[in-house]
A and B are shown apart, each in its own frame.
Chain A
Amino acid sequence: MPESYVSRFRRWSRPTGMHLLIGGLIAVLGFGMATQFVQDEATDYTSVRGVELVELLKSIDAANERLGTQIEDLTQTRDDLLSSSRRSEDAEEEARQRSEQLAILAGSVGATGPGVVVTIDDPDEAVSANQLLDAVQELRDAGAEAIAINGTARVVAQTYFLDDESSIVVGGREVKRPFVVEAIGDPATMSEAVKFRGGLIDRVSNAGGKATVEERDKVTITALADVKGPEYARPTS
């Protein structure tokens, strides 16, 4: 009995030409199936017939049109957003420049630029707050844009000048003699405004002091004014 099994197995497993041909055919079948499986994972339209293709084409055309409209809409929206963001960038830039200008005017930031340094030396304490104020006014008249006295007192719109014992109070800060007035603006114009006959230098020498003016390519003012918001005043309109 086992003998017969072995012989049957041997006969069954002995490859003849026909067996190999059958194996080859089955292999071709397996190869084709695998190929078709792989192929089917990708969409292909070769098995789709004319009418279906027309329907497919129609629906694709419709989708195409719809998507085209969508592209137009979105492009429009994007352009709108771009231009609005550009506008807001411009506005921001403008606001920043304005805030810089106002900060220099209000004395809340330091300032640098060409200007003059006026030194007033009066050992007899002959220069009063009024004369210092006059000096500041003359510099302003000559176009001074930022003024500081003794490097500590920034002169802005609210700054006041008061006589004190042996010193002068400028905007709440005490400045001692000798006074050094730094001003940023056109150096030539400002030095002329100080030097002219009957001007600051003359008046100080008449009072028994000595004033000098020095033009500089670069004056840096680091003193800041005490900025406080208006308590009573409100903008109209």
Chain B
Amino acid sequence: MIPVIGLLAGLGLGLWLQPTVPLWLQPYLPIAIVAALDAVVGALRALGEKRFNDRVFVISFISNVIIASAMVFVGDQLGVGSQLSTGVIVVLGIRIFANAAAIRRRIFHA
């Protein structure tokens, strides 16, 4: 309940305020969002399997965001920023798909 309210509140606030992303944050924000989405989908799967743990979710959320951003940062420093962010996106995308597939199997048994 609270997460849903939080999501709606965040979306509404962002659409209402329409903030401009600071320049230093611009390369990291999309990656951080995908990493956070991965954590959220993983949490949904854990909820479905009744092994959801608050601590695990919070830590995985934060660490996902930080690691993804750090990889982009390091990639930028090494001059392979675009390739590395593509790699991060691909890995996170695969994880999201895997988790979504697990949820789907659990709900539809298919």
- Does the CB pair B15–A39 fall under 8 Å? no
- Does the CB pair B27–A35 fall under 8 Å? no
Q: What residue in chain B is nearest A40 (Cβ atoms)?
A: B30
The 30 sampled A-B contact pairs (Cβ below 8 Å) are A12-B1, A13-B2, A18-B58, A19-B2, A19-B54, A21-B54, A23-B2, A23-B6, A25-B62, A26-B3, A26-B40, A29-B37, A30-B6, A30-B9, A30-B10, A31-B13, A32-B14, A32-B29, A32-B36, A34-B12, A34-B13, A35-B19, A35-B29, A36-B29, A39-B21, A44-B26, A46-B27, A47-B26, A47-B30, A49-B81
What secondary structure prevails in chain A residues at the interface with B?
Answer: helix
Residue B57 interfacial (CB < 8 Å):
yes
- Shortest distance in angstroms between A133's beta carbon and chain B's nearest beta carbon? 94
User: Which residues of B1-37 have CB atoms within 8 Å of chain A's CB atoms?
Assistant: 1-3, 5-15, 18-21, 23, 26-27, 29-30, 32-33, 36-37
- Does the CB pair B26–A46 fall under 8 Å? yes
- Does the CB pair B57–A36 fall under 8 Å? no
Bound: A27/B11 CA distance, A: 7
Q: What residue in chain B is nearest A25 (Cβ atoms)?
A: B61
Bound: A171/B55 CA distance, A: 120
- Does the CB pair A38–B15 fall under 8 Å? yes
Residue A188 interfacial (CB < 8 Å):
no
- Shortest distance in angstroms between B47's beta carbon and chain A's nearest beta carbon? 11
List the A side residues contacting B13 at CB < 8 Å: 27, 30-31, 34
Bound: A149/B8 CA distance, A: 99
What secondary structure prevails in chain B residues at the interface with A?
Answer: helix
Tell which of A15, A20, A34, A46 has the most Cβ of chain B within 10 Å.
A34
Residue A208 interfacial (CB < 8 Å):
no
Q: Mark A40-60, 1 if CB is under 8 A from B, else 0.
A: 000010110100000000000
Q: Residues of B at under 8 Å CB distance from A?
A: 1-3, 5-15, 18-21, 23, 26-27, 29-30, 32-33, 36-37, 40, 54-55, 57-58, 61-62, 81-82
Top 7 closest A-B pairs, CB basis? A34-B14, A30-B10, A23-B6, A27-B10, A27-B6, A23-B2, A31-B10
Residue A33 interfacial (CB < 8 Å):
yes
List the A side residues contacting B10 at CB < 8 Å: 26-34
Residue A24 interfacial (CB < 8 Å):
yes
Q: Which of the residues B11, B57, B82 comes within 8 Å of A30, measured between beta carbons?
A: B11
